[in-house]
Amino acid sequence: MGYLNHLKLLEVKNKVSFFNYKNNSFFYALYRKIAIFISPLILFLNPNLISSLSLLAGFLGLMSSIFMDIKLNFVMYFFFISFVLDFSDGIVARYKKASSFHGRFIDGLFDILVLGFIHIIVINHILNSSGGFFEKNFYYLVVLLLPIQHLILDRFSAIARWCNKINNNNKIKPYLRNNYLRKPTFLFFDLQQICLILLLAPKYFDQNLIIEIYLIISFVASLITIILYIYLSKKFFSSTSNFKHNK
């Protein structure tokens, strides 16, 4: 089967919608669309290997920024490659009927690492240039909140499933962010992607200002998610007894 035949099948199985915040963000659709065009060329690869290549691209971006002193606008290309590969692994896995929970685990883990690499790079750029608009501890807090946010999300999911198992029901949904923060989450993602794209044109945009905006968005998004899930944990878990499990 040739490239075009594979592409047609992938487009049928992976429909995307632009400018529809009920379903997905704009850049989610854009990266997914690009990944659909690339996926027929990498179908011979194991999906987990594609996930690893996505992580490798991000890691090379980090190393090139720290040790090779490559300009920030060129470093960002490593991450755009990483984003596309990140969407490609799932497309290839489903197409080959090779999806697995291990694949989902490493995909989520690698996503967090790549985002962490980006934060480290842009914060280093700020601190090594003008020193930044904020006190340096703010930037460290932004980096710290990123894994904490995902830890809380995963912890909530695990406890929700535990509660449902103990009480023999499925009353608590493991994932509730889309129920409460669907559109803001999509908006934050798109705004951050716009910031990363603007970093490609340092002649026209102040990179430090763009980075400050990017980090503020990251801080606000993480903080809102953390506060929301602390509230949801109190709402859903306070009335759920662990007595049966203890007994």
Check which CATH number belongs to the domain holding 101 and give it. 1.20.120.1760
**Percent share of the chain, pLDDT over 70:** 95
> Is the separation of the CB atoms in 73 and 201 below 8 Å?
yes
Asked whether the predicted pLDDT for residue 247 surpasses 60, the reply is no
- Find where tokens 């999300």 sit: 153
The number of domains in the chain is 1
Asked whether the predicted pLDDT for residue 221 surpasses 80, the reply is yes
In which domain, by residue range, is 197 found?
3-246
> Is the separation of the CB atoms in 16 and 32 below 8 Å?
yes
CA distance 46 to 239: 44
- So what's the pLDDT on residue 46? 93
Mean residue pLDDT across the chain: 88
DSSP-based three-state secondary structure for 153 = helix
Encode pLDDT of 54-112 as tens digits: 999 999 999 999 888 889 999 999 999 999 999 999 999 988 888 888 888 999 999 99
